[in-house]
Amino acid sequence: MAEKDINRETDKDIEDLKEAAETEEKESPENETAPEEAKAEETESAPEKGEAKEPSSEDKKKDPKDEKIDELTDRWKRLMAEFDNFRKRTDAEKAGMYSEGERTVLEKILPVVDNFERALATVPEDKKEDSFVAGMEKIYRQFSELLKGFGVEPIEAVGQKFDSNLHNAVMHVEDEEKKENEVVEEFQKGYMYKDKVLRYSMVKVAN
């Protein structure tokens, strides 16, 4: 065999060996799983879709404008609450001052009414038709209507059971015909003003 032919066969054998080695490398199981493992590693390292990015310390810090707005809003709410309390206190004080002033004036009118009642009680029967007496009775009725218009009502006394919340006992009398603690006589008429005693009735009580 010629040398040239031997070299040709040798080169062919080498080529066949290379092809066989490449084929074996491609069909090797290790090479088949390597790409899958690489993909798995990439999948684990890559962030999932829709996963929220953890906010940084700068994102967590509140905007100074929002802090100022919250501060001003809080101050405004406190001022409104204080003003509402002040308004309620002022209204209550005004109502109390008006009621107290009205009460003081009415107390000063009561003695005038008392004097009219005493004067009319001393008029003889034959003089009650006189024009002067009729004029006094008219003025007395006007005072009575004025007091009633302000919410002043007389306190019932004679024949009622003594009540220390309404009556002022200045005299006691032994009377078997009367009930115990019954008011038998009234010396000065008492009055109520809007469910409060304006003046206590001055009375005599039976024991």
Sheet strands side by side (includes 152-154):
152-154, 191-193, 196-199
Average pLDDT over residues 132-159: 92
Average pLDDT over residues 42-48: 50
Interior CA angle at 120 toward 204 and 206, to 5°?
A: 10
Asked if residue 25 has pLDDT above 60, the reply is: no
pLDDT band at 33 (very low <50, low <70, confident <90, very high): very low
Bridge-based pairing state of the strands 183-188 and 201-206: antiparallel
Cα 41 to Cα 34: distance, rounded to the nearest angstrom: 11
pLDDT band at 17 (very low <50, low <70, confident <90, very high): low
Cα 156 to Cα 161: distance, rounded to the nearest angstrom: 10
Asked if residue 199 has pLDDT above 50, the reply is: yes
In the chain, what are the domain boundaries? 67-150, 153-207
pLDDT band at 141 (very low <50, low <70, confident <90, very high): very high
CB 143 within 8 A of CB 106: no
The more confidently predicted of residues 12 and 39 is 12
Cα 48 to Cα 191: distance, rounded to the nearest angstrom: 89
Q: What totals of helices (H) and strands (E) does the chain contain, helices first?
A: 5, 6
CB atoms within 10 A of CB 163: 15
Asked if residue 40 has pLDDT above 50, the reply is: no
Of the chain, the percentage scoring pLDDT greater than 70 comes to 71
Question: Among residues 174, 206, 169, which one has the least CA distance to residue 188?
Answer: 169
Whether the CA torsion 71, 76, 79, 80 is positive or negative: it is: negative
Asked if residue 47 has pLDDT above 80, the reply is: no
| Weakest-pLDDT range from 10-14, 118-122, 195-199 | 10-14
pLDDT band at 100 (very low <50, low <70, confident <90, very high): confident
pLDDT score, position 142: 92
The more confidently predicted of residues 25 and 104 is 104
Asked if residue 137 has pLDDT above 60, the reply is: yes
pLDDT score, position 22: 64
CATH number 2.60.120.330 given to 153-207: no
pLDDT band at 34 (very low <50, low <70, confident <90, very high): very low
pLDDT score, position 21: 59
